[in-house]
Amino acid sequence: MEKYIRFDWAMKRLLRNKANFGVLEGLLTTLLEEKVTIRSLLESEGNQEDEFDKYNRVDILAENSKGELVLIEVQNNNEYAYFQRMLFGTSKLVTEYINRGEGYHKVRKVYSVNIVYFSLGHGKDFVYHGKTEFVGIHEGDVLELTPFQKQTFKVDRVSQLYPEYYILKVNDFDRVAKTPLEEWIYYLNTGSVPENATAPGLNQVKEHLKLDRMSKDELMAYYRHLDNIVILRDNIFTERAEGRAEGRAEGRAEGRAEGRAEGRAEGRAEEKIAIARNLKSLGIGLKDIVKATGLTEEEIGKL
């Protein structure tokens, strides 16, 4: 199965180009279950060029054809207060995109789409949707809009006026992709597009996000990014493992630590070898491969 550029790298480097809006539109159309057209991209934290942010997280802020705001964020690093971060991000958008003195009817709808590559919270599903509803304490009924409010705001439910949150826990996806949303999750998890995929936007992924479309320099930077991701996830695993090891016998803990260290070193070595093989197959020079992977010329020559 052909490999494609990881979604977070594409967001940083490719999907800000209007010609590639179809990829984002396809993801949002599939997730929100309604046709989404992106009008423009707005300023967001994803424009930062901090070295850590390049592989830890990236975001895009889009405005759709309805004037609604859609914040798409990819997060690679474990963050225990990520739920509060989601709240802060949407609250900030609500207040930033209304002019002083305007009426509250000018508050804009915000969608927060969070693609997380770590274990966020505790649950059995891999896609979660959050929205605001007001439920009667005594009667259990959901508070509804009046006919005048529905006509004025052009929505049917109170929840449509408030920010909505989507969490895609892509690492938890371990099944055959049968629906358009599952096809998207599969791509986000593996970097591959399922055969005969029908989800909106995945045809654009096949067309625009192929690895062989990247220049030599772009490809080397991309593989360094993948290496950083491996190290980052390894650090997360190590932190969890060390936390579980607290309180156990010191001798056994040291033994496990040594085993983890050996396993991490072996995993990173295998990752570098895989990257070197890919670069070599694309005809990239030996010295460039040495710089990109840290392997010796002799090691690369044996591949």
* pLDDT, tens digit, 9 for 90 and up, residues 48-89: 444 444 445 678 999 999 999 999 999 888 888 999 999 999
Task: Give residue 261's pLDDT band: very low, low, confident or very high (50, 70, 90).
Answer: low
| DSSP conformation letters of the chain | --BB--HHHHHHHTTTSGGGHHHHHHHHHHHHTS---EEEEE--GGG---HHHHHHEEEEEEEETTS-EEEEEEE-S--TTHHHHHHHHHHHHHHHTS-TT--GGGPPPEEEEEEESS--SS-S-SEEEE----B-TTT-PBP---HHHHHHHT-SSGGGGS-EEEEEEGGG--S---SHHHHHHHHHHHSB--TT--STTHHHHHHH-BGGGS-HHHHHHHHHHHHHHHHHHHHHHHHHHHHHHTTS-HHHHHHHHHHHHHHHHHHHHHHHHHHHHHHHHTT--HHHHHHHH---HHHHHT-
Q: How far apart are CA 197 and CA 202, in angstroms?
A: 7
Residue predicted with more confidence, 222 or 252: 222
The pTM assigned to this predicted structure is: 0.75
Can you give the pLDDT at residue 51?
43
- Cα angle at 260 between 301 and 289, to 5 degrees? 20
**pLDDT above 90 (res 145):** yes
**pLDDT above 60 (res 248):** no
Task: Give residue 135's pLDDT band: very low, low, confident or very high (50, 70, 90).
Answer: very high
Can you give the pLDDT at residue 49?
44
Beta sheet of 38-42, edge-to-edge order? 38-42, 57-64, 69-75, 110-116, 164-169, 127-130
> What's the chain's average pLDDT?
84
Can you give the pLDDT at residue 206?
93
